[in-house]
Amino acid sequence: MCASRAVTRSTLRQQITDALRDEVLAGRLQPGRGFTVKQIAEQYGVSATPVREALFDLSAQGLLESDQHRGFRVREFTVADYRSMVEARALVIDGVIRGVFYEPALSAAQRVTHHDCLVAVRRRAQEAARAAQGGDLEILIGYDLRFWRELGALGCNTYINDFLHRLRVQAWVFAVPYLRHDVGARDWLWQGHPELVAAITLGSHDAVRAVIDDYNAHALSWADRLAAGNPAHPGHGPRSTGQATAPGAPEPESPAR
């Protein structure tokens, strides 16, 4: 009986963690926005314990900040933070690419696994590119994160893959408020996922390197544009100065994308 309760609580904790992460990624919980354990518990109709655990999990992932005696708030990343994320990501990906292309030849079993993974990754790539072309931000984020997560599995190092996934989630959290307030956002959504899969399928290190370089240059170019104030800082929503607004409550309308 005790074990059953533990599993249930752990599952609930994960469900709340996932739900709140989705809210942050979608921009519905904006950077700087504060809330309490009690508000989240009432929103989801659950006890405080799994909510508190979920909020600490998201804090450990760098998405929330604990505001002592006031609750939590969504972390607000700066352009400098974003640039550092991209640079760190680029350095790690460089090592992954070297490992994939300079390791001894794969065994027959590894080649089958590699091929099966690429089939799934290719589907994610096509959906991500389609969402980017259509400017559908929420769908793009979901497919983009799954694309890189599954592609990273080819490197066979879960620690590196988890680190890169965390960086990408944080980068999206930073980017979403800007993209939602920029009428030209569609032009700044990277669409090279299928080209990267094609390069990997060919087994061409130079081709993969070219796509990855374009990916990183694209992100850094956007960071330069943001640093220059184009688009201007979107005003990431009100900070908690009194009673915080619980997730799911109505918010002011944002400009059309």
Q: How many CB atoms lie within 10 A of CB 141?
A: 23
Residue at token pair 């620690």: 159
Q: Is the pTM of this model over 0.85?
A: no
Q: How many CB atoms lie within 10 A of CB 47?
A: 12
Token pair in block for residue 36: 């309490």
The answer to whether residue 246 is domain-embedded is no
- The pLDDT of residue 244 is 41
- The pLDDT of residue 95 is 72
The answer to whether residue 183 is domain-embedded is yes
Question: Are residues 146 and 217 both part of a single domain?
Answer: yes
Question: Are residues 89 and 26 both part of a single domain?
Answer: no
Question: Are residues 103 and 211 both part of a single domain?
Answer: yes
Question: Are residues 61 and 99 both part of a single domain?
Answer: no
The answer to whether residue 220 is domain-embedded is yes
- The pLDDT of residue 156 is 66
**Is residue 93 within 8 Å of 163, Cβ to Cβ?**
no
Could you tell me the residue range of the domain that residue 136 belongs to?
Answer: 79-227
Indicate the SS3 state at residue 253: coil
Q: How many structural domains does the chain have?
A: 2
Q: Please identify every stretch of the chain with a pLDDT value under 50, giving residue numbers as ranges.
A: 1-7, 235-257
Question: Are residues 89 and 162 both part of a single domain?
Answer: yes
Distances (CA, A) of 151 to 52, 115, 158, 181, 219: 33, 11, 12, 30, 19
pLDDT, mean over the chain: 81
